[in-house]
Every structure is written in structure tokens, then in C-alpha cells.
């Protein structure tokens, strides 16, 4: 086999000239189960057989059989090209979040680049969201959603590229041409992957990280490789106004040592001045980097982040709505 490298992202993924793709992280699989400490149950469900889109469902320990819970539709991170909801990191993270927030969560397994370049992940995620909300009449194929999801409290969330997906789905949901049948109450964006052709803030001070991020979007989205594509740069002059964001609450979480921090801050500021009629909050965690919570769920900073996310997922609509 040809071992000559076509492109690589060290520690993440390597693509060889013979077409082979080697994922360097996020390849493990943890089976669904009932967690012995939290009582959270999980199971895997095929959502769209034609494209093999699936999800891992998480249900907290119930206090009564008719309990209705906020619904979190979650999108995992890692650069649109590796990992899944079934890895130990994301499965353990969702278990902890569901236990703390007392929500039902659907962690979507969308198709990854480069085998399935963007917009595949967006299309899969939108189709999964439509499938989930089709249960709002209590007659869908998934009993956990029929029996326990409160479709008046629907949230989207994600980490890194998953946060990017959550934002872009909320933009679609706010477009009058598209119909979702339910309202999205809020989106939680943790260390969101946004970028741009011109550096902002402290990005230029991290040339190695910047170089990797400069080539990531062209790698995962070859059909439109510009880093000012509005899907990766929501502040792009060519993009739609964020005034149309289809939710009423947004929480942006950034980390001090994350090279993407200033993009998250800019998103928070731009949304606040856009004329969007909602409430946006920001949380910054000191002295840690991108995705820190996935690596040490027992740390105080990870617990603080999960507590903030849990509180957000139990918010009601702002009083002026």
C-alpha cells in the first residue's frame, strides 16, 4: 500500500495518496448501558438507514413514568472528520451532562469528512433533528421521545465542530422557507469552531495552531474552501444576518487557552448587536484549552462547565417571548 501522505493533521487524521484515511483519535466504541453511578440509561438508534445516520440516546433516572424532560439534541466535535457519539469521551460526557441537567439527550452520529465532505454533516444533522421533532405528536417510532421529551423545551448543543453544526441548524430553523414544527428554545455552543481568512485577537500569536485551522475548512469542505464561508465565519459579509437565528437563548462557552476563544467572543458580541431578539450569555473558563472538559470530567472546571450547561438546558423562554 502507498504510504505517501497526501495531507495530515498531526494527532488527528492522515490521508494517504492511495485514498486511505487513518483516524488517529476517536475510534473506540463504548456500548450503551445503564450507568451504575448516575442511573442514566443509553441506547443506540438508527435514524436514517439510507445514509446510516444514527444516534445515542440518553435518559436520566426517572422519578415517575410520565415525566416530561427538556430535550437536548447534541452534536459531537473533533473537526468534522473524526470521532462519534459512541466513543468513551463523548459517551461519558453526555452521561454526566444528562445526569446533572435531568434532560433527555440525542447525540447525533453524522457522517465525517473526508469520505463524506461537508455539507454531509449539516444535512445529516438537519435530517436527524427533523426526525427527532417529528415525535412532537407523540406518535413517532422512538418511545423515549414519545413518552418523555418536552417539545416546548428543545435545545441544541455541541462542542467545537458540533457547536458549529448547532449554530448552522439554528440559522436554518430561523429561515421561513424551512419548517421544523417546533421552536428551538436555545443553543449551547461550547468552544465553537468558527474561523476566518483574517486573524483576530490573539490568533496570530499562535502560528502553528493557526496554520492547522487555516487548512481545516478547505479539507472538510472542498466545494467551498474559503475560510470566510458563512458556515464557518458567521460574521462574513457574504453571510445571512444573525438576526434570523432561530432560537431565543444562546450560551457561548470559551476557554482562555483555546486559539478559537476570540471567535467565540466575537460571535457573542456580534449576536448581541445584530438585532436578534433573544438573550445571549458567555462563559469563559480560565487556564484551560479547547475541549478540556472531555479529558477530565472530574476536574472542578469541567464540573463548573457542566453545571452551567445543565442550568441553561432548564431555562424557560425569555419573558418577552
- Active-site amino acid positions: 160, 258, 290
Residues written for the chain? 321
The three-class DSSP label of residue 224 is coil
Q: Are 169 and 131 in contact (CB under 8 A)?
A: no
54 beta partners: 46, 109
How far is residue 95's CA from residue 114's CA, in Å, rounded to a whole number? 29
The three-class DSSP label of residue 32 is coil
Q: Are 188 and 313 in contact (CB under 8 A)?
A: yes
How far is residue 57's CA from residue 33's CA, in Å, rounded to a whole number? 10
Cα-trace Rg, the chain: 19
284 beta partners: 254
Q: Between 120-133 and 161-173, two packed helices, what is the crossing angle to 10 degrees?
A: 60
How do 104-109 and 53-59 pair as beta strands?
antiparallel
How far is residue 164's CA from residue 194's CA, in Å, rounded to a whole number? 7
Q: How far is the first Cα of the chain from the last one, in angstroms, to the nearest whole number?
A: 60
Could you say which DSSP state residue 50 is in? G
How do 247-255 and 184-190 pair as beta strands?
parallel
Amino acid at each position: 500500500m502507498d504510504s505517501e501522505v497526501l495531507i495530515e493533521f498531526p494527532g488527528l487524521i492522515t490521508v494517504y495518496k492511495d485514498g486511505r484515511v487513518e483516524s488517529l483519535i476517536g475510534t473506540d466504541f463504548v456500548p450503551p448501558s445503564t450507568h451504575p453511578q448516575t442511573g442514566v440509561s443509553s441506547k443506540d438508534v438508527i435514524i436514517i438507514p439510507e445514509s446510516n445516520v444514527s444516534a445515542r440516546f440518553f435518559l436520566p433516572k426517572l422519578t415517575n413514568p410520565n415525566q416530561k424532560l427538556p430535550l437536548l439534541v447534541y452534536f459531537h466535535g473533533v473537526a468534522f472528520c473524526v470521532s462519534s457519539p459512541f466513543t468513551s469521551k463523548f459517551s461519558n460526557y453526555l452521561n454526566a451532562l444528562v445526569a446533572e441537567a435531568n434532560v433527555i439527550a440525542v447525540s447525533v452520529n453524522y457522517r465525517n469528512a473526508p469520505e463524506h465532505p461537508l455539507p454531509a454533516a449539516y444535512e445529516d444533522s438537519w435530517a436527524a433533528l427533523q426526525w427527532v421533532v417529528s415525535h412532537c405528536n407523540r406518535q413517532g417510532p422512538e418511545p423515549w421521545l414519545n413518552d418523555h421529551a418536552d417539545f416546548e423545551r428543545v435545545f441544541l448543543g455541541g462542542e467545537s465542530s458540533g457547536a458549529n453544526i448547532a449554530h448552522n441548524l439554528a440559522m436554518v430553523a430561523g429561515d421561513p422557507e424551512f419548517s421544523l414544527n417546533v421552536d428551538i428554545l436555545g443553543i449551547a455552543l461550547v468552544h465553537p469552531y468558527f474561523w476566518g481568512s483574517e486573524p483576530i485577537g490573539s490568533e496570530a500569536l499562535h502560528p502553528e495552531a493557526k496554520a492547522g485551522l487555516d487548512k481545516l475548512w478547505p479539507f472538510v469542505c472542498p466545494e467551498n474552501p474559503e475560510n470566510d464561508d458563512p458556515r464557518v465565519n458567521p460574521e462574513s459579509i457574504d453571510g445571512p444576518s444573525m438576526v434570523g437565528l432561530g432560537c431565543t437563548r444562546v450560551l457561548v462557552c470559551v476557554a482562555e487557552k483555546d486559539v478559537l476563544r476570540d471567535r467565540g467572543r466575537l460571535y457573542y458580541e456580534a449576536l448581541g448587536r445584530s438585532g436578534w431578539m433573544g438573550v445571549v450569555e458567555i462563559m469563559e473558563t480560565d487556564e484551560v484549552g479547547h475541549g478540556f472538559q472531555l479529558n477530565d470530567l472530574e476536574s472542578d472546571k469541567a464540573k463548573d462547565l457542566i453545571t452551567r450547561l445543565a442550568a441553561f438546558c432548564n431555562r424557560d423562554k425569555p419573558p418577552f417571548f
